[in-house]
Structure 1
Amino acid sequence: MSDLDDFFVHTVTVEAFQDTNGYGEPQYAAPAVVACFTEAKRRLVRSSTGEEVVSETTLYTDASHETKFPPGSRVTVGADVATVITAGAFTSGDLDLPDHLVVNLDRGASRNQ
């Protein structure tokens, strides 16, 4: 149990990106429900390839979920389906502070533009 569990008042469904098939279509792992805190705030972030991308939503969750959020993963937040731009774990080391994962998402596919 994390010291931050009380703050994870939202849930998302994540389908971890695995690979592409022979047609170039993305393949995902089975859906997993993850408790988190979501922040709908636009910010400029760098993707795993170094490209500047606008993130529309940031998720904060327990660091143990890091393997569920590789770049390209599909995340359902409410009625929106978004894609993971980048995810990074914040660990405190010897400071004994709560570790957490920050996940930046692109614009949800079902949002109005």
Structure 2
Amino acid sequence: MKVPRSFLPHRVTVERYRGEGPIGSVYWPPGDPVAALVSETVRTVRDRTGAEVTSTAQIITAPGLDCPAQSRITLPSGRITTALHVASHTAPGLPVPQSTEVMCE
């Protein structure tokens, strides 16, 4: 079961991280807006390396979001942030919705 679309009132745009180039980070062109639930609150989380960092926005989307760590995300407020950690939440056989959670700088 996927998270119901009615629970995802916001739209975010993801520019997937492609790698490092000669002058810095390289991104794929922005994709179509993605339905999401966005919470712009400050939380302490761990990034992909395990270091403790501060997250200023948390995003919940339907499962299967293609958003590697370090991707750029434009929030509904217009602020551009960077994905710190991406987690897929599944619970096979349980009546809870599947989703993807993105912790952002």
TM-score (norm 1): 0.85
Residues 1:24 and 1:49: Cα distance change in structure 2 (over 3 Å): farther
What is the 5 A alignment of 1:71-82? Answer: 71-77=69-75, 78-82=77-81
Is residue 3–residue 99 contact of structure 2 (8 Å, CA) maintained in 1?
no
Equivalent residue for 2:36? 36
Tell me the alpha carbon deviations over residues 59-112 of structure 1, each in whole angstroms, 9 at most, x when there is no partner.
0001121xx211100001122000000010100111142100110000xxxxxx
* More helix per residue: 1
Q: Which moved more, 1:34-43 or 1:23-32?
A: 23-32
* Amino acid in structure 1 at the alignment position of 2:79: D
* Structure 2 unaligned residues grouped into runs of 5+: none
Q: 3-state SS of the aligned residue for 2:44?
A: strand
Q: 3-state SS of the aligned residue for 2:64?
A: helix
Report the count of equivalent residues.
103
Percent identity between the two aligned chains: 28
What is the 5 A alignment of 1:1-113? Answer: 2-21=2-21, 23-32=22-31, 33-65=33-65, 68-77=66-75, 78-106=77-105
Q: 3-state SS of the aligned residue for 1:97?
A: coil
Q: 3-state SS of the aligned residue for 1:93?
A: coil
Runs of 4+ in 1 over 4 A off after TM superposition: none
What is the rounded CA distance, in whole Å, between the counterparts of 2:68 and 2:47 in structure 1?
11
* Amino acid in structure 2 at the alignment position of 1:20: E
Residues 1:98 and 1:45: Cα distance change in structure 2 (over 3 Å): same
What is the rounded CA distance, in whole Å, between the counterparts of 1:99 and 1:3 in structure 2?
6
Task: Identify the structure with bigger relative contact order (alpha carbons < 8 Å, sequence gap 6+).
Answer: 2
* Amino acid in structure 1 at the alignment position of 2:46: R
What is the rounded CA distance, in whole Å, between the counterparts of 2:41 and 2:27 in structure 1?
26
